A = this chain, B = another copy of it.
C-alpha cells in the first residue's frame, strides 16, 4: 500500500490560507519578508512561522541581501497545482485579489519611486 508521503506533505503545506496567499505573492518572483508582512497585514513572527512551514515542505528557498531576506518559490509546478484547484473551486485568478503593498526594502522603494513619478500632463 502506497503511503503518498510526498503528496500528503504537499497537501498539508497548502492547507492554510496564509500559506496559499504567500505563494500567490511569490508567483511573479521573490519578495522580502517585510513585503509579505505589509501585503498580508499579519504580524512578522506569524509570517515567519508560515514561511518556515513552506520551506520545510521544500516549496521555498531564501536569499539574503543585506538586511532583507528574499523568499522565492523553488518549484514553479506548485502553481499548476494551485491553478488546477482554482479551476475546481471556481476561484478567480488570485493575483488580482491581493492588494499590492510596499515596505521599506530596496525592492519596494524602487517600485515606489517609479509609481510616484507624476505624469507631466497631470501637473499642467
Query: Measuring CB to CB, which residues of chain A are less than 8 angstroms from any residue of chain B?
Result: 1-8, 10-12, 14-17, 20-21, 40-41, 75, 77-78, 80-82, 84-91, 94, 97-98
Say yes or no: A8 contacts B17, CB within 8 Å: yes
Say yes or no: B84 contacts A7, CB within 8 Å: no
Residues in B with CB closer than 8 Å to A3 are 17
User: Top 9 A-B pairs ranked by shortest CB distance?
Assistant: A6-B89, A11-B15, A80-B84, A4-B17, A77-B88, A81-B84, A11-B14, A12-B15, A84-B84
Docked complex Cα distance between A12 and B11 (Å)? 7
The A interface, classified by DSSP as helix, strand, loop or mixed, is helix
Residues in B with CB closer than 8 Å to A7 are 14, 20, 82, 85-86, 89, 91
What's the least CB distance linking A42 to chain B, in Å? 8
Say yes or no: A15 contacts B21, CB within 8 Å: no
Docked complex Cα distance between A6 and B15 (Å)? 10
Say yes or no: A2 contacts B81, CB within 8 Å: no
Docked complex Cα distance between A36 and B91 (Å)? 32
Between-chain CB contacts (< 8 Å), 15 pairs: A1-B21, A2-B17, A4-B21, A5-B17, A6-B90, A6-B91, A7-B82, A11-B15, A11-B85, A12-B15, A15-B15, A77-B84, A77-B87, A77-B88, A80-B88
